[in-house]
Amino acid sequence: MSGRIAHTPEALRDQPERWPVTGSEIVLQTSRVIAVRQDHVTSPADGAEFVRDVVMHPGAVGIVALDEDERVLLVSQYRHPVGHRLLEIPAGLLDVPGEPYPVAAARELYEESHVQATDWQVLVDLFTSPGMTTESTRIYLARGLSAVDGDRHVGVHEEADMPVTWAPLADLVDAVLAGRLHNPLVAAGVLATWAVRQGEGYDALRPVDTPWDAREAQPG
């Protein structure tokens, strides 16, 4: 088969690129999470102009919380757009201005499960649906887990009915590959955790304070 080949592992990377935008406007602004921006984009290949609707999203963090028995913490949450109750890893929006990404992850882990962790590493970075939205998500691996004492966070709406469960990592890998679990953060987080476990081990992961270059390179 012909085609360009990345000759070294380090060459396997996405590259920032920005095509010319001749005009841009917000066509939908909600009071909740998203806005929709309409861009008029010019192709550098042939000069053709076309329109793309972009769902603007603040980004998110997710957490694969792995206990000493290699069980993963999951929450069961109703997701109205897809009409399913999904098993998910704890996750949440980057909606606190200036909040460091690891702090946001620790906050979400506490709010959704009342669990804390002493050992944090970066597991995987994602553009969740790059054909339509700016949403970027960083998934952390959290270990050294313990329950948090004190007042419990009280969720509202869907988060008011979000029970916590635990499942063996190996069983989750099987469930993802069998098509029984559909949340993309679960699929990416579980399979990445399994790959690292079977490969160089968890200590080979990136440190918790690793810069999130792809997110920072996104246009405003």
Q: In what order do the strands lie in the sheet with 84-88?
A: 84-88, 71-79, 164-168
Rounded-to-integer distance, Cα 215 and Cα 183, Å? 21
Name the strand (E) or helix (H) holding 218.
none
Q: Check 108, 159, 200, 216 and give the catalytic one.
A: 159
Q: Enumerate helices (H) and strands (E) in the chain, giving the number of each.
A: 4, 11
Q: Is 216 a catalytic residue?
A: no
Nearest to 89 by CA among 101, 79, 74: 74
Distance between CA atoms of residues 145 and 71, nearest Å: 11
Secondary structure element (H or E) that encloses residue 43, with its range: none
Question: Pairing mode, if any, of strands 60-65 and 136-147?
Answer: parallel
Q: Note whether 110 and 116 are within 8 A (CB).
A: yes
Q: How far apart are CA 7 and CA 205, in angstroms?
A: 23
> So which residues are the catalytic ones?
159
